Amino acid sequence: MPAYGLPSLLSFNYTPSYTSYNPYSAPFPPDNIRNCDEWLAYTDKSVKAKDIYTTQYETTPDDFLYAYKTNNWENFEGNSFTDWLRKKKHRNVLDYFALAKQIEFLQTGDHSGWEESSRSAIIGNAYDSLARIATTLTKKAKGDFLTNRYAFQTVKLLYYRKLYTGDTSTDPELIKFYDAHLKDKQTIVADWSLLYYALSQPDIITRNYYLIQVFDRTEEKKDYSYQWFNAEAINQLSDSLTNVKDLVLIRSIKAMMNPGRGLNDLQYIISKDADSKYIPLLVTREINKLEDWIWSPEILGFTSSLQETFFEKEKYEKDVDYNQPDTNFIFYADKNLNKDRAYLNEVNDYLNAVANKLGNKEFVTLALAHLANMQGRHDRATQLLQGIANSNDKNIARQANIEQLLALANSNDIKSTGTKDKIATLVANMQAAGDSLKNDQYYWQNESSIDIEQRDDLSEIFGLLRKRYEREGDTLTAGLLDYKSHLQTNEYGYTCKDSICYGVLSYWDKYGSADNIDAVLALKHKTNKTRFEQMLSPGVWGADDMYRDMKGTMYIRQQKYVEALRVFETMKENFWQTNYEYANYLPKSSLTSAGTLLPVKTGTGKTYTVSSKKLLIKELVDLQKQLALAKTDKEKSRLYFMLGNAQYNMSYYGKGWMAYAYGKSGGDSYGASDNYNWVYYSLHNSPNNHIENYYGLESAVKMYQTALMHAKADKELSTQCLIMLALCERIHRPYEDKRNNWVVGIYNYNSEEKPFVSNYMKKLLKQYSNTNTFTLSITTCPDIQDFVNNNK
């Protein structure tokens, strides 16, 4: 899933959550469990494993050291492990444990980086003295268990000692110590120590050799060692290795680093070691790449890292100029997609051919079912799933249920009642298995990535069902699924906690029609909903009047003011005064006035005591009626001028923009930007929304031009029309700049460096400079004075 605000899915990289997400790719239990197991064995299983874990990982160094130093173990009452440590015969073990906690304390300080040499030196000295103690104790310790652990602490301390003293040279002492005490030892502490041993190697190839071993042998240090890999050294190393185990390991790591096609890697690894613990991870990874390249953009609307996006497609089609530097992209995109589909078949065929050789049969079957679904062979997927749908392995059963949903969602009769019912059943199964939209609809932003991965499945299912119903022309179902899923596909929207909220409208605002709104309201109030309809029903419906406001606003955008008024008349009188942000942004004065833009009184002059779209639109309906009856040019000119003012006021730049849109930001990019800003908060660029009027002022200009045409001998009105026309021209200049891609080099170079010249203003200067309106304008409006200066 793309991170919010990013243009596309990110490249695949190894991350801890990646392996942890896939339960079949974590080759070992977590390191802390291995450590506790070793302690458990050392105590001859005479203590509770949980107590070891608590003491090791949930007890602060301060708490433990306080008990140790004061012999006050009150806080550890009932802890079988500390009881065991406190026995006289285990005194040496308790001393080790206390030293380990002391070191933990030293390492968990919060250092800001501003420490001066003295501070660094103090820490460096502390590491140094502890390293000396640990070195002595390693030599004195009896038995492998304690010797190994003291040796591990020593190696760690030696490493950090160098780090703090700023000495970047390698440490022969550390290397020697590791070789003497930890080399080839089968214990978690030897595996951890190997990281410091690796990082102390002077030769970069040797360092990377040990780093890949650390990656292989530990969980905890996997991510850290991965960060230290040097790509060039890994390549050189891979040419020099001969041992099959090492070859498989390094090829697996290279495969994890490979963002391109990795089937060759997989083939190599399986041919050398069909039981390699990395195979499930790499199979999943290859499938995920195919999802990114082929499937996610298609079924979820996610932005592929490789394909063009639908946003880009729109730009591409609309803006011929935009694609100038790269006119061939569509050709290549199609070609690449075909190659990727062929590659999907290749991966599927290969996995099918080696399935019998591989270990976890259910996992492989699941992978094949998923690939079949991606290939569009949904019958084959269904057939494969029969064998594993009731697996004892909950993860397999859960994913098999999702695969069945994927197969069903792509069936031809998705609109039939039977299929809808089956979909509802499978979704209920997912919920029973723990998948949820937390509290129905909330962000997951503060949760760990693992939770996100497990929790977004249901959202993604709703998202892909949305796309399917959209394709079948069922906008109602699609819109409700979109709201329910709240997938973050880089589109502006909100999750709603109550019924007055833009989120309930966002889909309809972008893609809907007035009919959809009627259907939403009908479903909302339906009493005997089917299971599928219950599934579609959101946790929070929008208020009825919120939906009605959307419907009326749709009519406003189409300039169908009579229809808009009819809708608004069914709504509560004070709806706009008491809900959402209407009261803050809907003006309480007539839209027909140019307000302070002109130094003379214009418009009907009406004012209202409450904010109301109904009252504002009613005036426009009246003006339209008067216009239909108007006989003289003068009358027509006056009415067109007022309608022009209304169009201007309801644009992005006007005081009544909220009659047209639900949000506005200084960052609105006029729907013509060369980035994706408009998908976040600007008015969506769909045909019904007429952004050419909202951002481009086209309808306002048209009205003013018509008014000017009718004004004829009325010099004052002509002046007013010309001033407003020149204003429109100047105001939406950035829109034109962006649309024409003039913004290059210095930001806004065009508007900053080139004075604005207006033909309307020239006409005004030539023919109407003696009017009262003009005289007042140049004395009271500095903007117009500027205009005049630039257009002389």
Partner 1 sequence: MRIYILLVLLALTFASCQRNAPHVNSFYYWKLGHENDSDRLQRFNELKVEHLYVHYMDVDWSEGLKMPVPKATASIADDSSFTSRPITPVIFITNRVFERMTDAWCDTLAEKLSKKISLITYSFYKNRIERSKLDPNIPYNDDYAHVVDSYQRVKVQPVLDTLKEIQIDCDWTAKTKDKYFRFLKKFKQKYPHQQISVTVRLYPYKYPKAMGVPPVDRGVLMCYNLGGLQKAKTANSIFSTGELKQYLNAKKYPLPLDIALPIFGWYAWFSNNTFKGIIYEQPSLVDNAAFKREDGGNYRVKADTVVQYKYLREGDVLRMEYPEAKDIVNAAQLVTDKVPDYGKIIFYHWDNNLIHKYENTIKGVYNNY
Return residues touching partner 1 (CB under 8 A).
7-8, 11, 110, 112-114, 116-117, 166, 168, 231, 257-261, 305-306, 308, 312, 316, 322-326, 328-329, 331-333, 335-336, 339, 674, 741, 744-747, 749, 753
- Alpha-carbon distance 602 to 611, whole Å? 21
Q: Which is nearer to partner 1, 261 or 715 (CB)?
A: 261
What spatial distance separates the first Cα and last Cα of the chain, rounded to whole Å? 56
Helix (H) or strand (E) holding 81: helix 80-86
Query: What is the C-alpha to C-alpha distance for residues 622 and 565, in angstroms, rounded to an integer?
Result: 11
- Residue 8 or 187: which CB sits closer to partner 1? 8
How far is the C-alpha of 676 from the C-alpha of 529, rounded, in Å?
A: 39
Indicate the residue among 314 and 460 with the shorter CB distance to partner 1.
314
Question: Are 707 and 721 contacting, i.e. CB atoms less than 8 angstroms apart?
Answer: yes
Q: Which is nearer to partner 1, 292 or 509 (CB)?
A: 292
Question: Tokens for 766?
Answer: 């030539």
Nearer to partner 1 by Cβ, of 508 and 676: the residue is: 676
Q: How far is the CB of 746 from partner 1 (least distance, A)?
A: 6
Nearest CB to partner 1, comparing residues 154 and 307? 307
> CA–CA separation, 280 vs 395, rounded Å?
14
Do 102 and 131 meet the contact criterion of CB atoms below 8 Å apart? no
CB of 40 to partner 1, least distance (A): 36
Phi, psi for 359 (deg, rounded to 5): -70, -80
Closest CA to 147 of 193, 209, 115: 193
**Least separation in angstroms between CB 674 and partner 1:** 7
User: Residue 550 and residue 501: Cα distance in Å, rounded?
Assistant: 12
Q: Tokens 């006409």 correspond to what residue? A: 763
Q: How far is the CB of 260 from partner 1 (least distance, A)?
A: 4
Closer to partner 1 by Cβ: residue 328 or 412: 328
Least distance in angstroms from the C-beta of 306 to partner 1: 6
- 84 vs 52, 67, 76, 148, 638, CA distance in Å? 10, 14, 12, 20, 97
User: Nearer Cβ to partner 1, position 281 or 520?
Assistant: 281
Query: 708: which 2 tokens?
Result: 């000017």
Burial of 184 (0-12, 13-18, 19+ CB in 10 A): exposed
Sequence-ordered list of residues with C-beta below 8 angstroms from that of 594, at least 6 positions apart, any chain: 602, 603, 645, 648, 720, 724
Q: Report, in Å, the least distance between residue 710 CB and partner 1.
A: 43
Closer residue to partner 1, CB minimum distance, 112 or 412: 112
Q: Least Å distance between CB 326 and partner 1?
A: 5
Nearest to 720 by CA among 651, 638, 783: 638
Minimum CB distance to partner 1 smaller for 113 or for 666: 113
| 779: its two tokens | 């004395």
According to DSSP, residue 520 is labeled H
Distance, C-alpha 677 to centroid of its chain: 15
Q: Report how far apart, in Å, the C-alpha atoms of 716 and of each of 240, 578, 598, 626 are.
A: 89, 41, 11, 22
Least Å distance, CB 704 to partner 1, is 34
- Looking at the Cβ atoms of 319 and 786, the one nearer to partner 1 is 319
Q: How far is CA 707 from the centre of its chain?
A: 48
Q: Which is nearer to partner 1, 268 or 329 (CB)?
A: 329
Smallest separation (angstroms) from partner 1 to the CB of 616: 37
Minimal distance, residue 12 CB to partner 1, in Å: 9
Q: Minimum Å distance from CB 200 to partner 1?
A: 16
Distances (CA, A) of 569 to 27, 31, 545: 66, 67, 11
Q: Which is nearer to partner 1, 30 or 172 (CB)?
A: 172
Q: What is the crossing angle of helices 633-649 and 715-731, to 10°?
A: 20
Query: Could you tell me the smallest distance in angstroms from the CB atom of residue 376 to partner 1?
Result: 23
Instruction: Identify which of residues 21 and 329 has a Cβ nearer to partner 1 in the complex.
Output: 329
CA distance 496 to 499: 7
In the bound complex, what is the minimum distance in angstroms from residue 313's beta carbon to partner 1?
9
Closest to partner 1 by CB, 156 or 289 = 289
Q: Report the C-alpha gap between 708 and 718 in whole angstroms.
A: 5
Q: Which is nearer to partner 1, 315 or 398 (CB)?
A: 315
Least spacing, CB of residue 364 vs partner 1, in Å = 26
Least distance from C-beta 346 to partner 1, angstroms? 14
Q: What is the 3-state secondary structure (H, E, C) of 252-283?
A: HHHHHHCCCCCHHHHHHHHHHCCCCCCHHHHH
CB 491 within 8 A of CB 682: no
Q: What is the 3-state secondary structure (H, E, C) of 533-595?
A: HHHHCCCCCCCHHHHHHHHHHHHHHCCCHHHHHHHHCCCCCCHHHHCCCHHHHCCCECCCCCH
- Choice between 153 and 489, CB closer to partner 1: 489
Q: For partner 1, give the closer residue by CB, 629 or 744.
A: 744
Strand segments (E) across 417-464:
none
Whole-number minimum distance, CB 546 to partner 1, in Å? 36
φ/ψ bin of 528: left (φ > 0), alpha (ψ from -120 to 50), beta (otherwise): beta
Beta bridge partners of 607: 589
Closest CB 230 distance from partner 1, rounded Å: 12
What b/e sequence results for 75-95 when a residue is b if at least 16 CB atoms lie within 10 Å of its CB, and e otherwise?
ebeebbbbbbbbeeebeebbe
Task: State in angstroms the smallest separation of the CB of 345 from partner 1.
Answer: 16
CA dihedral 654, 657, 660, 666 (to 10 degrees): 110
Query: Residues 303, 314: contact at Cβ < 8 Å?
Result: no
Instruction: Report which of 367, 429, 355, 370 is spatially closest to residue 403, judged by C-alpha positions.
Output: 370
